[in-house]
Amino acid sequence: MSIIIIKNPEQIEGIRKSSKLAGKILLYAEQFVKEGVSTEYIDDKIEEYIRDHGAIPAPLHYHGFPKSSCISLNETVCHGIPAKDTILKNHDIVNIDVTTILDGYYGDTSRMYSVGEMSIIAKKLVVATKKCLDIGIGQCSPGNYFGNIGYHIANFAHSKGFSVVYEFTGHGTGLEFHEPPQVDHIAGRNSGKIMKPGMIFTIEPMINQGKAKVTVDNHDGWTARTKDNKLSAQFEHTILITETGYDVLTDVSGEYNNS
Ligand code: MF3
Ligand code: CO
Ligand code: CO
C-alpha cells in the first residue's frame, strides 16, 4: 500500500523525542571524527549512547545490516558499514547517518563532518548539499507537491555543476523505518502526492561531484559508491508537516524557523 500515514498527536510527540535523540547523537559523534579513528569505534560509541538513552539503533540487523549506524566516506554515497580497518585520514569527508527507535518511534538524520580541512571542491560540494537539504525543507508546506522538493533541489545542484543521486531517496518515517512516500531528490515540478499536516518524512539529498550513477559493493551488498569514484555528500532531516508549514524534528541546534 502507498497510503501516507497522518500521525496523531501522541505519535508526533513520540517521533519528536526519538528524532531529538538522533539529532543529539550527531552532535555527540563529532568529537570522534579525527585522523586515525576507525569507523567501527565511532559506531560503538553511537550504539552505546543510543542504548544509554533507552533507545535501539534502527540499522542494526535491518535487512541484515550489521552495524548501528551508516558511516560513508568520500566517494561512498550511503550505507557505508562501520569497520575496524576503515581508518579516518586527513581531508576525508564523512557522513554519519543515525536512526533511533525510542518507545517504538523512529527518528532519522545524517550530516557531514570532515577530518581536518576539506579540499576546495569537497567544501563546495558539502556546502551545496546542505543548501539542497534546506531548499527541500523550504518546500515543506501543506498543499504543496512532494515533487517540488526534488524539483528545486535538482535545479540548485545542477546550477553548481553537481548531480543528484536518483537511486536512493527520502521516505516517510516514524512508525516504521521506511514508510511511504518515496521522497525523490530529483523530480518534476508539481508532481507526486500532496503534503498534509501530520505527515512525517525525511529529505536526504545525496549530491555527487561527478556523475549521478551509483554502484553497490558486491562483497557486502550495502556500500553504495559513485560509479566514477568522485566525491558524494549527504545531509538528512526528519520533517513534520504542520498546519502552516514544517517542523524539523531532528534539528537540535535551533537552526530552522519551524512554522
Ligand atoms: N538511515 C538510512 C536512511 O536514511 C537507511 C539506512 S538502512 C541501513 O534511510 F540498513 F543501512 F541502516
Ligand atoms: Co532516511
Ligand atoms: Co538516514
> What pLDDT was estimated at residue 259?
66
Q: Which three cell numbers stand for residue 117?
A: 580541512
Residue 255 domain flag: no
Residue 70 Cα to ligand 3 midpoint, Å, equals 8
Residue 1 lies in a domain: no
Q: Identify whether 132 is part of a domain.
A: yes
Is residue 104 domain-resident? yes
For residue 133, being part of any structural domain is answered with yes
Residue 105 lies in a domain: yes
Predicted TM-score of the model (pTM): 0.98
Q: Maximum distance among all alpha carbons in the chain?
A: 48
Note the pLDDT of residue 1.
Answer: 63
256 within domain boundaries:
no
Task: Determine whether the shortest distance from the Cβ of 92 to ligand 1 is under 6 A.
Answer: no
* Domain limits for position 199: 9-248
Q: Which of 194, 145, 180, 175 is nearest to 2 (CA)?
A: 180
Distance (Å, whole) CA 117 – CA 126: 12
Residue 259 lies in a domain: no
Whole-number Å distance, alpha carbon 236 to ligand 3 midpoint, is 6
Nearest-10 crossing angle of helices 9-29, 39-52: 140
CATH number at residue 214: 3.90.230.10
Question: Which mean pLDDT values do the consecutive 10-residue runs of the chain (259 residues) have?
Answer: 93 98 98 98 99 98 98 99 98 99 99 98 99 98 98 99 98 98 98 98 99 97 98 99 98 89
Q: Is 97 in the pocket of ligand 1 (CB under 6 A)?
A: yes
- Regarding the beta carbon of 79 and ligand 1, being less than 6 Å apart is answered yes
Q: What is the pLDDT of residues 148-166, one digit of tens each?
A: 999 999 999 999 999 999 9
Cell 576546495 sits on residue? 120
**For residue range 7-26, what is the model confidence (pLDDT) as tens digits?**
999 999 999 999 999 999 99
